[in-house]
Structure 1
Amino acid sequence: MDLLGRVTGRLHALDWLAGALLGAGLLAVATGVLPYGPASDVLARIGPLLVFLATVIVLAELTGSAQVFDVVAAWVARAGRGSYAVLFALCVVFASVTTIALNLDTTAVLLTPVLLALAGRVGIAAVPLAMTTVWLANTASLLLPVSNLTNLLAADRVGLSPTGMAAVMWPSQVAAIGVTAVCLWGFYWRRGRRGAERYVPPEPPRPADPVLLRVCALACGGFLAVLLLDLVPLWAASSAAALVVVAAFARRRPRELSWSLVPWRLLVLVPGMFLVVETAGVLGLDRLLASAVGAHEGPLGVLRTAAVGAGFSNALNNLPAYVAGEGAVPAGHREQLLALLIGVNVGPLVTPWASLATLLWFERCRRHGVRIGLGRFMGTGLVLAVTGTVAAVAALELTS
């Protein structure tokens, strides 16, 4: 096989998709379908987002390699003291905190294999733990700018600091997590007990490198503290934390540092997706969405906006759904914009491509031999998408 064959033979279907989207976007710019001005504006807007995405994934990957997540997962299982119901509650909290503090893609990429391994260690079904990660990766991503790329995109338009956003969105976040927990228990955990009310807690793990584990844990904690204090831009905070962790690995385990840690697929997919959506907007998508979203900020108006965001996310993907929907929301309608965020964060649970986190999660499950029936995934996801979105919007309205 020639060099091209060897290279393309390693490409995943998502790599081909990412390349196709970027190619289509660049072609639209080259042919003048998408004017250079709007194209450069959108790329400049997502530049800091791409830096954050690259550095936070590197931080999360190396933190996982240092066994921070394994230690926490084992602690969660031991804290449950053998009670299946308590373990369920702790896993919900664990997945929610990971999403809120370290981004939904971290939950999908790193927490999924940790909880799947935990399922084997304590002798319970893997599917309930897998669904916990993918659902909470999406529905627990409302609270902070760092929690979801859509939140980062909305930061300037919403005009809220991290603490300000948390103060506004916490009721919606609590409502979304609460509905998710009810659906998880009813659809998956209750049936996954296999008739057992208890499990055997695992032995505490022995980290291969305790020093490296402590450094990574402190770097993640420092990143979260800087984020909440709003001291520096998000991309700068994630870059500094990643630099500390990379330096620690360079000193203690340099062989684990490689360019493969960088999420190249996402760094190609995201700009391609934005260029394609910007092109679609020029061709008439903006007018269509403006008509669908409307300009009313009453209870029905914000629910309508959230529903459009959720529907468009499941039809295409939540990132372009937010960008296109944002342009349809009138200036100054902050509550309507927050409702759009609820729709694109809580709503993309029906189709496998509705969010990047879900795509990454499916790949992780496949690698671990865990099969999720697509019919059941979409059916239960539809129930949660509808009830979770309505509950979160209602909470936003009641506290506004």
Structure 2
Amino acid sequence: MKTALIGAGLAIIGLVAAVVGILSPQALLELLDRVAPVLGFVIGLTIVADLAAEAGLFSWLAGIAARFSLGRVWVLWLLVVVLALLCTIFLSLDTTAVLLTPVVVLVARRVGASPLPFAFTTVWLANCGSMLLPVSNLTNLLAVHALGSPHPLDYAALVAPAAAVSVLVPLVAIAVRYRRELAATFTPVPVDAAADPVLFRVSAIVVVLLVPALVTGVAVWIPAAAAALVLIVTFALRRREALRLTLVPWGTLLFASGLFLVVAAAQALGLARVLGDVVGTGDSFGDLLRLSGGAALSANVANNLPAYLALEPVGGSPLRLVAILIGVNVGCIVTPWASLATLLWHGRLTGLGVEVPWGRFALAGLLITVVALPLAILALTFA
């Protein structure tokens, strides 16, 4: 609700800017042409993720991880790492934050393990692990346009070294901080059977087919919409009550739309010139680190979506654009509002009775950012 209200306020500001002439009709049409496919992808993928979770797919995957962890918490944690990474890379960071967080916390409790290393793993990998593919993060989908719409595999090749470093740093931090909790053992538990085997199988097939479809180079909203349609039809036949208007992420859509409008208006007023003086130019290590640091600071002050859009005009080269992505994706783990995924993650934890003080979260995120950003830029520069 708060996200929707903030988005409505931002949308009103953007519409006022259009009415008074700050945003021209042509600028609005160009903005719509750019963001409509992105928002369409969000709608389709959110519906797929929610219905797949309703069918028990994610709970089953977490149960399988617990079953094959050999009674060792650190093995279970590594399997959760793999699951979180795959979920983030192919189904987006918000899917990991919304759907995987409660699953891994409940599995940790079920085997008697501390939920904290699993909770931090999901949120940090949701953000820091969202570099590798365009579909992993909305900021990446926006950046693809500025990068000349490369094939997803070409995009992955460009960002892979930095993406690998961005994942390793938070994992090392968790392994060191929670080494005692991860060294514990437990008695393996059986995997619960799906309530509706037909829904489970259809959901599993849809997700398995969707993953490669998202990296074929076809506009990502098309396979996401097709997958959503298949699951909607299946649930209409098998479990109609699961189909509800809240499957569409209205709050997220309104929030993102408002941010897009406000940043477009700010760009029309000369925001890029001001930011250009702050973050500088050039493709050297120092220049890229300065740009990435500015992007991280902007994301934590505001949010990573407007931070990326505001800085995109001062990119100017593939390396600089990726440096911006490193800042807004990896560096957005300090303040809770820097990433929508973090807010969604915290809401799920609160509902499960897991308390994570924002002070501790901010300090841990700051330490990871200070280490990860220079290393990721180093990997980007010299790979």
What TM-score, normalized to structure 2?
0.96
Q: Which residue of 210, 222, 232 maps to 1:223?
A: 210
Residue in 1 aligned with 2:50? Answer: 61
In the TM superposition, 1:338-349 aligns within 5 A as 338-349=322-333
Is 1:132 aligned to 2:143, yes or no? no
Q: Which residue of 30, 33, 44 maps to 2:22?
A: 33
Give how far 1:103 is off.
Answer: 0.4
Query: Could you say what secondary structure the match of 1:353 adopts?
Result: helix
Q: Which residue of 261, 269, 282 maps to 1:275?
A: 261
Q: Which residue of 235, 238, 243 maps to 1:257?
A: 243
State how far apart, in whole Å, the 1-side matches of 2:81 and 2:124 are.
10
Is 1:320 aligned to 2:310, yes or no? no
State how far apart, in whole Å, the 2-side matches of 1:20 and 1:338 are.
30
Aligned length: 382
Query: Could you say what secondary structure the match of 2:215 adopts?
Result: helix
Is 1:357 aligned to 2:341, yes or no? yes
Residue in 1 aligned with 2:91? Answer: 102
Amino acid at match of 1:364: R
Identity %: 42
Query: Could you say what secondary structure the match of 1:228 adopts?
Result: coil
Give how far 1:130 is off.
Answer: 1.3
- The CA deviation string for residues 149-169 of structure 1, in whole angstroms up to 9 with x for no partner, is 011001122132111112222
Aligned residues of 2:134 and 2:141 also touching (Cα < 8 A): yes
Worse-matched range after superposition: 289-298 or 59-68 = 289-298
Is 1:165 aligned to 2:155, yes or no? yes
Give how far 1:275 is off.
Answer: 0.9
Aligned residues of 2:113 and 2:184 also touching (Cα < 8 A): no
Residue in 1 aligned with 2:288? Answer: 302
Give how far 1:40 is off.
Answer: 3.0
State how far apart, in whole Å, the 1-side matches of 2:6 and 2:181 are.
35
Give how far 1:309 is off.
Answer: 1.0
In the TM superposition, 1:115-130 aligns within 5 A as 115-130=104-119
Worse-matched range after superposition: 248-257 or 28-37 = 28-37
State how far apart, in whole Å, the 1-side matches of 2:99 and 2:285 are.
38
Is 1:203 aligned to 2:190, yes or no? yes
Q: Which residue of 316, 331, 353 maps to 1:369?
A: 353
Amino acid at match of 1:348: C
Is 1:73 aligned to 2:62, yes or no? yes
Give how far 1:341 is off.
Answer: 1.0
Give how far 1:89 is off.
Answer: 1.5
State how far apart, in whole Å, the 1-side matches of 2:346 and 2:10 are.
20
State how far apart, in whole Å, the 2-side matches of 1:360 and 1:43 are.
26
Is 1:285 aligned to 2:274, yes or no? no
Query: Could you say what secondary structure the match of 2:269 adopts?
Result: helix
Residue in 2 aligned with 1:147? Answer: 136
State how far apart, in whole Å, the 1-side matches of 2:45 and 2:279 are.
33
Give how far 1:31 is off.
Answer: 2.3
Worse-matched range after superposition: 368-377 or 82-91 = 82-91
Give how far 1:370 is off.
Answer: 1.3
State how far apart, in whole Å, the 1-side matches of 2:18 and 2:259 are.
13
Aligned residues of 2:165 and 2:375 also touching (Cα < 8 A): yes
Give how far 1:372 is off.
Answer: 0.6
Give how far 1:304 is off.
Answer: 1.4
State how far apart, in whole Å, the 2-side matches of 1:398 and 1:218 are.
40
- Ranges in structure 2 where 5+ consecutive residues have no aligned partner: none
State how far apart, in whole Å, the 1-side matches of 2:26 and 2:123 are.
37
Aligned residues of 1:105 and 1:137 also touching (Cα < 8 A): yes
Amino acid at match of 2:65: V
State how far apart, in whole Å, the 1-side matches of 2:119 and 2:138 are.
22
Give how far 1:259 is off.
Answer: 1.0
- Ranges in structure 1 where 5+ consecutive residues have no aligned partner: 1-11
Give how far 1:191 is off.
Answer: 5.3
Query: Could you say what secondary structure the match of 1:112 adopts?
Result: helix
State how far apart, in whole Å, the 2-side matches of 1:61 and 1:200 are.
30
Is 1:178 aligned to 2:168, yes or no? yes
State how far apart, in whole Å, the 1-side matches of 2:21 and 2:189 are.
60
- The CA deviation string for residues 265-298 of structure 1, in whole angstroms up to 9 with x for no partner, is 0111111011111222233422221112222011
- The CA deviation string for residues 48-73 of structure 1, in whole angstroms up to 9 with x for no partner, is 10100011000000011111100100
Aligned residues of 1:290 and 1:329 also touching (Cα < 8 A): no
- The CA deviation string for residues 290-335 of structure 1, in whole angstroms up to 9 with x for no partner, is 11222201111111111111111011000111111101122xx111
- The CA deviation string for residues 194-221 of structure 1, in whole angstroms up to 9 with x for no partner, is xx62122221111111221111111111
Q: Which residue of 210, 213, 220 maps to 1:234?
A: 220
Residue in 1 aligned with 2:367? Answer: 383
Query: Cα RMSD (Å) of the superposition?
Result: 1.4
Give how far 1:43 is off.
Answer: 2.5
In the TM superposition, 1:242-253 aligns within 5 A as 242-253=228-239
Query: Could you say what secondary structure the match of 2:70 adopts?
Result: coil
Query: Could you say what secondary structure the match of 1:205 adopts?
Result: coil
Worse-matched range after superposition: 345-354 or 126-135 = 126-135
